[in-house]
Amino acid sequence: MGPQEPEENISHMDASLYKAAAEGNIEVFNNKQGLQLESLKTPNHDNVLHVNLATQETAAWLLNRFHSCDPVMSFFITMIKREKRSDFIEQILRKCPSLLLQTNAKGQTPLHVAARNGHSAIVKLLIKFCAKARDGDLEKLGMDQVNAVREMLRITDQESNMALHEAARCGNVEVAKALLEFEDPEFPYSANKKQETPLYITARRRGSGRLLTLLLDKFKSTAHGGPHGRTALHAAAMAGDAEAIKVILNKKGNLTKERDEDGHTPLHYAAHFGNRLSVVKELLKRDVTAAYIGDKKRGMTPLLMAARQGHLLTVSKILSLCPDCCEKVDNKSLNLLHYLAFRGSSSPFGNSGFKSDHIEIVYGSVKTLMELEGAFGMTPQDVDNAVRSQKHHHKQWVAWQKQIKELLEEVENDQVAEKSVHHFTVRNNHRKFG
Q: How confident is the model at residue 349 (pLDDT cuts 50, 70, 90)?
A: very low
Rounded distance, CA 291 to CA 328, Å?
10
Rounded distance, CA 372 to CA 290, Å?
24
Rounded to the nearest 10°, the torsion over CA 359, 360, 366, 370 is 90
Q: Are 299 and 334 in contact (CB under 8 A)?
A: no
Q: Who wins on pLDDT, 2 or 160?
A: 160
Q: Span 83-100, mean pLDDT? A: 93
User: Measured on CA atoms in the order 338, 344, 345, 347, is the torsion positive or negative?
Assistant: positive
Q: Who wins on pLDDT, 242 or 252?
A: 242
Burial of 431 (0-12, 13-18, 19+ CB in 10 A): exposed
Q: Who wins on pLDDT, 36 or 34?
A: 36
Rounded distance, CA 399 to CA 402, Å?
5
pLDDT at 139 over 80: no
* SS3 call for 354: strand
pLDDT at 57 over 80: no
Instruction: Name the residue ranges covered by the structural domains of the chain.
Output: 11-183
pLDDT at 147 over 50: yes
pLDDT of residue 2: 55
Q: How confident is the model at residue 364 (pLDDT cuts 50, 70, 90)?
A: low
Q: How confident is the model at residue 348 (pLDDT cuts 50, 70, 90)?
A: very low
Count CB atoms within 10 A of the CB of residue 138. Answer: 17
- Chain-centroid distance of CA 22 in Å reads 30
Q: Who wins on pLDDT, 431 or 40?
A: 40
Rounded distance, CA 365 to CA 379, Å?
15
Q: Are 32 and 44 in contact (CB under 8 A)?
A: no
Q: Span 153-170, mean pLDDT? A: 97
Q: Who wins on pLDDT, 188 or 431?
A: 188
* SS3 call for 348: coil
- Chain-centroid distance of CA 339 in Å reads 29
Vertex 277: Cα angle to 289 and 310 (nearest 5)? 90
pLDDT of residue 3: 56
Of 51-65, 150-164, 234-248, 348-362, minimum mean pLDDT range: 348-362
pLDDT of residue 369: 85
Vertex 198: Cα angle to 196 and 204 (nearest 5)? 70
pLDDT of residue 62: 46
pLDDT at 128 over 60: yes
In the chain, the amino acid numbered 252 is K
Q: What is the pTM of this model?
A: 0.84
DSSP secondary structure, 373-388, as one string = --GGG--HHHHHHHHH
Residue 301: closest CA among 278, 284, 282, 277: 284
pLDDT of residue 354: 45
pLDDT at 277 over 70: yes
User: Measured on CA atoms in the order 312, 306, 413, 341, is the torsion positive or negative?
Assistant: positive
pLDDT of residue 368: 80
pLDDT of residue 81: 57
* Average pLDDT over the chain, rounded to an integer: 85
Rounded distance, CA 292 to CA 281, Å?
15
Q: What is the DSSP letter of 34?
A: T
Q: Which residues pair with 360 in a beta bridge?
A: 355
Q: What is the DSSP letter of 2?
A: P
Q: Span 115-134, mean pLDDT? A: 90
Rounded distance, CA 310 to CA 319, Å?
15
* SS3 call for 125: helix
pLDDT at 318 over 80: yes
pLDDT of residue 344: 81
pLDDT (tens digit, 9 = 90+) per residue, 393-413? 567 777 878 888 888 999 999
pLDDT (tens digit, 9 = 90+) per residue, 172-221? 999 999 999 999 988 988 899 999 999 999 999 999 999 999 999 998 77
According to CATH, the superfamily of the domain at 11-183 is: Ankyrin repeat-containing domain (1.25.40.20)
pLDDT of residue 355: 47
Q: Are 125 and 100 in contact (CB under 8 A)?
A: no
Burial of 28 (0-12, 13-18, 19+ CB in 10 A): middle
Residue 141: closest CA among 151, 150, 131: 131
